[in-house]
A and B are shown apart, each in its own frame.
Chain A
């Protein structure tokens, strides 16, 4: 889908956030970008989204470059419009493309249903819990049926029980939607549980230290699987070695 080729990003002021980074994204893959904070994970995600441009290197898309709606983005905060209902928040990406309300509503309700929010269509963000707000945010990213879903530490601010539930539900959503997911996290457990491929990053300057492939089932039961604990240990060792 996308080849990130020897990409570097130096911010004005001289911070080298990313150096010589190469990465391939395949169709229907689930990649975790894992690393300590400040190692350039968000920078890489923004470059992939086209929200920022690399200082060096290239981003090569297979076929046509992405159009608006081909990429969904979920931030650490739900970043909903506080004055709009859940429904209107999910409607937003379609509205910006000129889709009429009546045309959009079936898609909006399908997206809300997919994240388990049927019945909360007219609720305002203020009336929803943190986990539910994040679900609205995910529904908003899914409503355009993106080929690529980018998520920047989306569950980092949630309590552990809510986080586990959302992680399991995200796997279902991913399998149903069939899109590629790039999931930024600083949690080894989260990366090991979710990803098909774990990409380890190290800071100053940010770069990719290692890639690891998961042999686990992408399912909720995986958390109890001894192989999951083993994978967590393997990633931890690799991280220690990379940071040493």
Chain B
């Protein structure tokens, strides 16, 4: 049973290869898996370096989003004024499509790596912010009454009730934002193009498509997909481990 996904994957790959060969699909339209692996084997260092570069941007953006999203959610939960001030901007940021503002950011920030991180942060920010905010408000009203009854200070309610209640929500947000940070990094690299930080995976994809090196383009895409899957599972596992260590949700 556990091997079923892998088996299914292998079968699909075999069918793909067979179809490409039997139907004589040209490699510049759709390469088979073997051609893609060969393209990767031709320049593993270059592709993996690009992957590292993109992941670097992703993790930096995820960290920024976690700090900013978490801090703003806490500020909002602690003060009505902060809530009124922050909420509309957070929503505005969320509904603005990244490709529309990325060129501006790249011009304003100047430093290419930083510009990419800012772009990816904008995409990754909202799920972290929104889920942390709802987590901070998730404690049942009876528990809030209880804290009130015992004369709890606001910071005590925050530290002993709201923050711990928000932790699982924050971790869920982190997992969602991890994938989005990767998407944001790739989109920003695409917008920045060769004028930007010309070493990420998205740049390799662009470059390969200009040169019609379609198998190499697919190899970069596969790396990207694998990185996204690993990121998602990794963040999920980290979240589970943290909650297990704490002993209760």
Give chain A's interface residues, CB within 8 Å of chain B.
Answer: 46, 49-51, 67-69, 71, 73, 75, 77, 79, 81-85, 92-93, 95-97, 124-126, 144
B160 proximal to A (CB < 8 A): yes
Give chain B's interface residues, CB within 8 Å of chain A.
Answer: 140, 142-143, 145-152, 156, 160-161, 164, 167, 246-249
B161 touches A81 (CB 8 A): yes
Contacts of A73 in B (CB 8 A): 145-146, 149
B163 → A minimal CB distance (Å): 10
Once the chains are docked, how many angstroms separate the CA of A93 from the CA of B148?
Answer: 10
B141 → A minimal CB distance (Å): 9
Sorted nearest first, the 8 A-B pairs with minimum C-beta distance are A68-B151, A82-B248, A83-B248, A79-B142, A96-B150, A75-B142, A124-B248, A96-B152
Once the chains are docked, how many angstroms separate the CA of A186 from the CA of B146?
Answer: 23
Once the chains are docked, how many angstroms separate the CA of A165 from the CA of B150?
Answer: 29
Contacts of B249 in A (CB 8 A): 82-83
Contacts of B145 in A (CB 8 A): 46, 49, 51, 73
B71 → A minimal CB distance (Å): 22
Contacts of A68 in B (CB 8 A): 149-151
Say what secondary structure dominates the interface of chain B. Answer: helix
Which residue on chain B has the smallest CB distance to residue A84? B248
B154 → A minimal CB distance (Å): 12
B248 touches A125 (CB 8 A): yes
Contacts of B151 in A (CB 8 A): 67-68, 96-97
A232 → B minimal CB distance (Å): 30
Sample of 16 A–B contacts (CB below 8 Å): A49-B149, A50-B149, A51-B145, A51-B149, A67-B151, A68-B151, A73-B146, A82-B248, A83-B248, A84-B248, A85-B247, A96-B147, A96-B151, A97-B150, A125-B248, A144-B150
Contacts of A82 in B (CB 8 A): 248-249
Interface centre among B143, B145, B151, B248 (most CB of A within 10 A): B248
Contacts of A97 in B (CB 8 A): 150-151
Which residue on chain A has the smallest CB distance to residue B161? A81
Beyond known contacts A82-B249, A96-B156: 5 more, CB 8 A cutoff: A73-B149, A79-B140, A79-B142, A79-B143, A81-B161
A69 touches B164 (CB 8 A): no
Which residue on chain B has the smallest CB distance to residue A94? B150
Instruction: Name A83's contact: one of B146, B148, B152, B164 (CB within 8 Å).
Output: B164
Once the chains are docked, how many angstroms separate the CA of A111 from the CA of B233?
Answer: 44
Interface centre among A67, A68, A85 (most CB of B within 10 A): A68
Which residue on chain A has the smallest CB distance to residue B147? A96
Contacts of B149 in A (CB 8 A): 49-51, 68, 71, 73
B246 touches A83 (CB 8 A): yes
